[in-house]
């Protein structure tokens, strides 16, 4: 399992259209938005048939996205090697 959280900058007048675009990207969920400061908070989860990296790239390249910052990332890959 891999998850990440992104803070996306966009102009508030594009939030509605951007919300639709982001909803079409696999694993992406919009958790909050502030028109006051032009930011949206996203959570991205990996899943069958797509990688979290592809979804992060798709968000970054989406129309109306001015910038995207990775705020948090988690993976449980490799944890079984630590258990003994």
β-partners of residue 47 are 50
pLDDT of residue 81: 65
pLDDT at 74 (0 to 100): 94
Domain limits at 43? 2-77
Q: How many CB atoms lie within 10 A of CB 50?
A: 14
- Tally of structural domains, the chain: 1
Within a domain: 26: yes
Residue 21 has pLDDT above 80, yes or no: yes
Nearest Cα to Cα of residue 26 among 1, 55, 53: 55
Give the CATH number for residue 47: 3.30.70.920
Quick one: which of 51, 36, 48 has its CA closest to 4?
A: 51
Cβ-based burial of 78 (10 A; exposed 0-12, middle 13-18, buried ≥19): exposed
Is residue 83 situated within a structural domain? no
**pTM for this structure?**
0.87
């Amino acid at each position: 399992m891999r998850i990440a959280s992104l803070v996306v900058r966009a102009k508030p007048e594009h939030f509605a259209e951007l919300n639709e675009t982001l909803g079409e990207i696999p694993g992406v969920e919009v958790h909050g938005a502030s028109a006051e400061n032009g930011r949206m908070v996203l959570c991205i989860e990996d899943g069958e048939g797509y990688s979290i990296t592809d979804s992060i790239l798709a968000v970054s390249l989406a129309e109306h996205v001015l910038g995207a910052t990775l705020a948090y990332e988690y993976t449980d890959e490799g944890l079984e090697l630590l258990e003994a």
